[in-house]
Structure 1
Amino acid sequence: MKDKILITGGAGFIGSRLARKLLGAGYGVSILDNFSPQIHGGNRDLPEDLRGHAELFRGDVRDVSLCERALKGSQVLVHLAAETGTGQSMYQVRHYTDVNIGATASLMEIMLAGNTRVRSVVVASSRSIYGEGAAKCSEHGTVYPEMRSSAAMQKGDFEPKCPICGAATSMVSTPENAPFHPSSLYGLTKQVQEQMVLMYATTLGINGFGLRYQNVFGPGQSLKNPYTGILAIFSNQARADKPIYVFEDGLESRDFVYVDDVVEATFRAVEAPPQKPAALNVGTGVATTVSELVEQVIAFFSSKSEVTVTGAFREGDIRHSCADTTQLERVLHYKPTWTFEAGMREFLGWAESQALEASNYERSLDELRSKGLMHG
């Protein structure tokens, strides 16, 4: 048998698909997952096709003794377990810090103790560490705007500004050497998590990859979690013919990358030969506006949902995100193959087959308003 791989968060959207791919390639697979109700609802077990094939460690990634047992005998750690709600992170500060940073620190300490044979660590980083990322100023070229001003956004001025002259900017793709400017607590935790993994991979002389996932979507993503995934939120609303509220002016954009492309990139990181630890963007390099996304959702379901572009905004949200994938192609020899349109057909067809459950979306917005983190 090939190496044994431990996937934290391996029962989730990305992790379960990665587990299938690794098992199919002859690897041994262990999964550590706490089956968080916010993500999994009432489900407390692995997908049926993984049961009996992947070893399951059921519990919290913050449980050091559990992590020690799970890591024993593993040659590769794929660390996907994390809290991922941008808005929620802004008021659950300690929880997000404990899970995303504290648990990663414990995993590094276990490896430093010398009782494991880990040769590679792959961590799910995030586009959120860039904040607004790269932008283009007509006078100063490529610049890196700081966090947007609440005062400006309350006036309907949503575009990031040039840090040199203050002029409005336009979107360009963001490379890995862009400075860190996280605008949410979630983004800050992912920055620290990634830097910690790459630093200790260097210290231990092993492979390390921080994969900066863009907006991952596809069949199997949580339709229950109101704190992450506008695609899931809009799909639920459209299927129920409920109102859809679009933040800002609807022209904010994201790099939506299909889950199979993310799994393939992660798989290639697992199989990579010995090399210098690296951070890599995992995206398509193509940005789609939220308004374009909503149009596709409404059309697919022939929904009667009323769409309102509200001008409201959340603290911590960024305006645009689009990955420069040059390094992904150079280091892992991979270029995503799924178009947004093809991925949407797969996702929406799957979503249509799922039971339509009560949504906590409105409650999640009320929580943000009560904390002063949503305006308009």
Structure 2
Amino acid sequence: MGREHDSVVITGGTGFIGRRLTEALLGSDMAVHVVSHGEPPPTLRDADGVRTHVADVRDRSAVTDLLGRVAPDTVVHLAARDDTGSERGRFETVETNVMGTYNVLSAAARSGVERVVYASSAYRRGAVGDEPSPIDVYGASKAAGEQLCRAVASQSGIDCVVPVVHTVYGPSQPPTDGLVPAAAAAAVAGEDFAPNCPDHVRDFVHVADVVAFLRAAMEADTERSFERAEVCSGRGRRVRAVAERIYEVADAPGEVRPASDADCSRTPETLVGDPSGAAALCDWSPTVDWETGIEQVLSARR
């Protein structure tokens, strides 16, 4: 039997995953509070059962005030930053992903939150049972967030569930968000496409499956105060092959050209997960097959 809860706060609720989680919760019996850094879109502001809030997770007083007023049962913490291209970007990545996460956890503990679902990233590197070994600031910041979850859970009585999310894709994803939306946008436009690091291997998981895990994690009965599982397909796909398949399905006039001169030493060569932990924890497994997912992405672009 799953745990009962009446209200949820979703940080990063206007992002690619956050919006779809919010949409999935519409019509449920719980009150849904969406937190965003900027003004939320009208479709969320006007949705029944949804209240929107503007707050920056780096602002400790704003986060504390918000969670104190709302007093939710559950927080799904999706707000994050991934900008490692400049010193300022790296600083803001750490500030958001480490201090922002601590602010959310600390405020949650003071306001009586029962569970925090913290979205980590495969860029932490390392199997779930191993110590993380990130090679960039973003991965290190997400790994630090996991450790903060563990520490706060052990001291405060909050349950923390940490999905380690692999490469997410799905319809209506901005082209700047990753390989699949970028390749799909170029293919539909009839342009050539040069993927970065074409020989690297990634594990792609559809956004609908990620949302399904998040919902299950909100409700799952857990044996320990800190649980972690990989949200993934369990299958690796080479970057070049992914782009080429998108062009084949799109029947695009452009082509996948030789790779650009990106510095691939700064990103892991292979990131492939194991979904068995998510199955054991939440009775979850991915359901959207790769070909269907690609068709959905392309259809949304046409």
The TM-score normalised by the length of structure 1 is 0.73
2:206 to 254, 258, 280: 258
Match of 1:191 in 2: 143
User: SS of the counterpart of 2:168?
Assistant: strand
Match of 1:93 in 2: 90
In 1, Cα distance between equivalents of 2:172 and 2:260: 31
Match of 1:24 in 2: 27
Match of 1:118 in 2: 113
After the TM superposition, which of the residue ranges 269-278 and 63-72 deviates more from structure 2? 63-72
Amino acid at match of 2:105: M
User: SS of the counterpart of 2:56?
Assistant: coil
In 1, Cα distance between equivalents of 2:242 and 2:73: 40
> Residues 80 and 325 (structure 1 numbering): CA distance in 2 closer, same or farther, change over 3 Å?
same
- Structure 2 counterparts to residues 21-100 of structure 1, below 5 A: 21-35=24-38, 44-48=40-44, 51-72=47-68, 73-85=71-83, 87-88=84-85, 92-100=89-97
Structure ID, larger Rg: 1
1:8 has 2:11 as partner? yes
Match of 1:109 in 2: 106
> Residues 179 and 50 (structure 1 numbering): CA distance in 2 closer, same or farther, change over 3 Å?
farther
1:346 to 286, 293, 296: 296
Q: Offset at 1:126?
A: 0.5
Q: Offset at 1:88?
A: 3.1
Q: Offset at 1:258?
A: 0.5
> Residues 49 and 109 (structure 1 numbering): CA distance in 2 closer, same or farther, change over 3 Å?
closer
Stretches of 4+ aligned residues off by more than 6 angstroms = none
Length, aligned pairs only: 295
2:132 to 180, 201, 204: 180
> Residues 338 and 119 (structure 1 numbering): CA distance in 2 closer, same or farther, change over 3 Å?
same
8 Å contact 1:247–1:309 — kept in the other structure?
Answer: no
8 Å contact 1:127–1:214 — kept in the other structure?
Answer: yes
After the TM superposition, which of the residue ranges 276-285 and 233-242 deviates more from structure 2? 233-242
In 2, Cα distance between equivalents of 1:255 and 1:91: 29
Q: Offset at 1:350?
A: 0.9
1:279 to 224, 228, 237: 228
**CA offset digits 1:30-67 (Å, max 9, x no partner):** 011024xxxxxxx8425358634211111322222321
User: SS of the counterpart of 1:32?
Assistant: strand
Amino acid at match of 1:332: C
User: SS of the counterpart of 2:85?
Assistant: helix
The TM-score normalised by the length of structure 2 is 0.90
- Structure 2 counterparts to residues 215-364 of structure 1, below 5 A: 215-223=167-175, 226=176, 228-248=177-197, 250-276=198-224, 277-310=226-259, 312-314=261-263, 315-352=265-302
8 Å contact 1:238–1:297 — kept in the other structure?
Answer: yes
Unaligned ranges ≥5, structure 2? none
> Residues 124 and 90 (structure 1 numbering): CA distance in 2 closer, same or farther, change over 3 Å?
farther
In 2, Cα distance between equivalents of 1:285 and 1:243: 30
RMSD, matched Cα: 2.2
